[in-house]
Chain A
Amino acid sequence: MDRFLQELTKGLWKELPPFRLLLGLCPVLAVTKSASSGLGMGLAVLFVLTLSNAIISLVRGIIPSKVRIACFITISATLVVAVELLMQAYAYPLYLQLGIFVPLIVVNCIILGRAEAFAAKNPVHLAIADGLGMGLGFTMSLTFLGSIREILGAGTWFGHPVLWEGFQPFSVMVEAPGAFLCLGLILAAMNYGTHRQISRRNREAAAEAPSGCGGCQACSANRG
């Protein structure tokens, strides 16, 4: 059970797909014009990723390793077609909004990456946990990025106006350059946070274990 939770939670922060692994950037940049399309795309990927991880993990014993990539692609393509048809039936406006990027989930690096790196080597329940965690992380990131871009670029959040009256939308944010800009700034902020965390941990470790070098603080002073 511990292992299950560990695989589930690693996708939420430690290996957050778009911002830590930098995988699957095509939908991250292209369909996050609004929070709702980001959320829709994230849910579609969550569905495909969890099921493809489960199926690939089930059949991992019988796929010859030479043709495994083709098999993985076939499995995920089947699931993507299912998602596409479901979307057309039950969420047609969202389908129109996402356009070509729904079929393109097949070639999303995260799907193949998790299949190759995790599902093909682990039992079913862990593969499902991995797919769920990664998918949730992906959905979260896309909704977050979509929210930032929609609020700044259109003044709305999930279609509801949230900023003051007379706000002039910063419309470069909902265009292609805005996606790169936002992604870069988020990555910079995350790297800055991680860097500070590490240096604080180092300082604490140095404070806890003194007198190793006769009480000299030179190395911790340098690090700070």
Chain B
Amino acid sequence: MSNPGNSDILLAISTPPFWHCGRTIPKHSLHTLLALAPAALLSILQWGVPAVRVMALAVLTALVTEAVCQTLMKRKLTQDNGTAAITGLLLAFLLPASAPWWLVALGSACAIGIGRMAFGGYGANQVSATLVGWALIFVSFPAFMDPTSSLLQTSLFDPLLRIKYFGSAAAADLSLTDLLLGRQLGGLGAAQSGALLLGGLYLVLRGVVRWEIPLAFLLGVLAAASALHLMNGALYAGPLVHLASGSTVLAAFFLATEDSCSPHRRIPMLCYGLIGGVLVMLIRTFGIYTDGAPFAVMLINLLAPLFTLIRSRPFGARPGWKNKAAAEQRRTEA
């Protein structure tokens, strides 16, 4: 509703609804940041100062880029609502701790500049802005983006990489606890699947994230991984390893649920998540990339407008209302 402090109009005339539940974008962002905090803390404990450096740089670049774009577009500055910070932090979660500064800055600037502001700002982007930035730098600089080749002084390893090249037996000695506690090589925060799961559940309970999308996404991964594992257990690892490794949890709770890029009714949301989960496994198993989750989310982002077309029958409508509505629309267009 209109805020008297912000505008010089005393009497505002507006359309309903006049009642507001108090849910605002800054509050959403605050909850999301709270949910991301445990994973961030764990990764700082694990990697130390380099992790802080990557995260701070990504967030800072995102905020500055957004401010520059908004100044150029002659818009109100909206850094205080925190959405740009979240985009930057999520991007940092997908990068390794060893990422050079220019890579982080470039990715973050591309995410906000090309992924979000080029489409018209927050809420207008078709594909998750974080993933646009990530994809641009991932395709361009694979050597710097790969934690396995850039973090050599560690005993951890990337389970997905081993499974891909040496079969499921190579990851057999991994316990699920280790994976959940983040004892694996991956993106900074993306590898902390247990902490992310906690944060995600908090968001679901808070109602910031609709439960249908993460649930269906994880179910899709579970179903596809189980099917593959049953087909050939020696080649394809079990579903739990896939759920807890790579960026599956991050994608399910934080990337796939971005409001402007996902459908908003129950059945469309379930289909959206399910197809995303299956795509993750398809890319991991048959594609050239070890972690398919970010690419899978980008693909379902593009499919979201199609899922939105699935509609329930309006209350009181007769059978065949769809054809009638389509005919009506054609007539008005002609």
Binding site for B on A (CB under 8 A): 168-173, 175, 177, 181, 184, 188
> Could you tell me the distance in whole angstroms from the C-beta of B186 to the nearest C-beta in chain A?
22
Q: Kindly provide the distance from the CB of B61 to the nearest chain A CB, expressed in whole angstroms.
A: 16
Contact of B118 with A171 in the complex, beta carbons under 8 Å: no
Chain A residue numbers with a CB within 8 Å of B140 are 169-173
Contact A172 B114 (CB under 8 A): no
Q: Does B289 contact A (CB under 8 A)?
A: no
- Asked if B230 is an interface residue, CB under 8 A from chain A, the answer is no
Q: In the complex, what distance in Å separates the CA atom of A172 from the CA atom of B134?
A: 12
- Please measure, in the bound complex, the distance between the C-alpha atom of A177 and the C-alpha atom of B115, giving whole angstroms: 13
CB A165 to nearest CB in B, in angstroms, measures 14
Identify the interface centre among A171, A172, A175, A177: most chain B CB within 10 Å of its CB: A172
Q: How many inter-chain residue pairs (CB < 8 Å) link A and B?
A: 18
Chain A to chain B contacts (Cβ below 8 Å), 18 pairs? A168-B102, A168-B141, A168-B144, A169-B140, A170-B106, A170-B140, A171-B139, A171-B140, A171-B141, A172-B136, A172-B139, A172-B140, A173-B140, A175-B139, A177-B139, A181-B114, A184-B118, A188-B118
**Chain B, residue nearest A152 (CB):** B140
Q: In angstroms, how far is the closest chain A Cβ from the Cβ of B298? A: 12
Interface residue count for B (Cβ, 8 Å)?
A: 9
Interface of chain A: mostly helix, strand, loop or mixed? helix
CB distance from A170 to the nearest CB of B (A): 5
Question: Which partner residue on chain B sits nearest A171 by CB separation?
Answer: B140
Q: In the docked arrangement, what's the CA distance between A210 and B118, Å?
A: 37
Q: Which of B102, B114, B139, B140 has the most CB of A within 10 A?
A: B140
- Return chain B residues, CB-CB under 8 Å to A188: 118
Closest to A170 in B: B140
Closest 7 CB pairs of A and B: A172-B140, A172-B139, A171-B140, A170-B140, A172-B136, A168-B141, A181-B114
Give min CB distance, A175 to chain B, whole Å. Answer: 7
The complex places the Cα of A170 from the Cα of B141 at a distance, in Å, of 7
Shortest distance from the beta carbon of A119 to any chain B beta carbon, whole Å: 37
Write the chain A residue with the least CB distance to B144.
A168
Q: How far is the CA of A188 from the CA of B120 in the complex (A)?
A: 12
Closest partner residue, chain A, to B114 (CB atom): A181
Q: In the assembled complex, which residues on chain A have CB atoms less than 8 Å from the CB atom of B144?
A: 168
- Complex: how many Å from CA A31 to CA B44? 45
Interface centre among B102, B139, B144 (most CB of A within 10 A): B139
- B 80-112 binary contact with A (CB < 8 Å = 1; else 0): 000000000000000000000010001000000
* Cα A173 to Cα B106 with chains together (Å): 14
Q: Which of B206-261 contact A (CB under 8 A)?
A: none
In the complex the two chains form, what is the Cα distance from A169 to B102 in whole Å? 12
Report how far A173 CA is from B102 CA in the complex, Å. Answer: 17
List B contacts of A177 (CB < 8 A).
Answer: 139
Task: Give the complex CA separation of A143 and B78 in angstroms.
Answer: 39
A69 to B131, CA, bound (A): 46
* Bound form: Cα–Cα A149–B177 in Å: 47
Per-residue A-contact encoding for B122-164, CB less than 8 Å = 1, 0 else: 0000000000000010011100100000000000000000000
User: What residues of B have a CB within 8 angstroms of the CB of A181 in the complex?
Assistant: 114
B139 contacts across to A, CB distance below 8 A: 171-172, 175, 177
Bound complex: CA A177 to CA B114 (Å): 12
Residues of B within 8 A of A170 (CB): 106, 140
> Roughly how many angstroms separate A187 CA and B95 CA in the complex, as a whole number?
32
A151 to chain B, nearest CB (A): 14
Chain A residues near B141 (CB, 8 Å)? 168, 171
In the assembled complex, the Cα of A129 lies from the Cα of B49 at a distance in Å of: 64
- Cα A181 to Cα B110 in complex, Å, equals 11
Residues in B neighbouring A173, C-beta threshold 8 A: 140
A-contacting residues, B52-71, CB 8 Å? none
By a CB distance below 8 angstroms, the chain A residues around B118 are 184, 188
State in angstroms the CA–CA spacing of A181 and B140 once bound together: 14
A217 CB, nearest partner CB in chain B, Å: 20
- Not counting A170-B106, A172-B136, A173-B140, a sample of 6 additional A-B residue pairs whose C-beta atoms are within 8 angstroms of each other reads A168-B102, A171-B140, A172-B139, A177-B139, A181-B114, A184-B118
Instruction: Report A200 CB to chain B, min CB distance, Å.
Output: 15
Question: What distance in Å separates the Cβ of A171 from its nearest Cβ neighbour in chain B?
Answer: 5
Question: Nearest CB to that of B138 among chain A residues?
Answer: A172
The closest CB in chain B to the CB of A174 belongs to B140
A218 CB, nearest partner CB in chain B, Å = 18
Nearest CB on A from B219, distance (A): 31
Output the residue of A170, A171, A181 with the most chain B CB within 10 A: A170
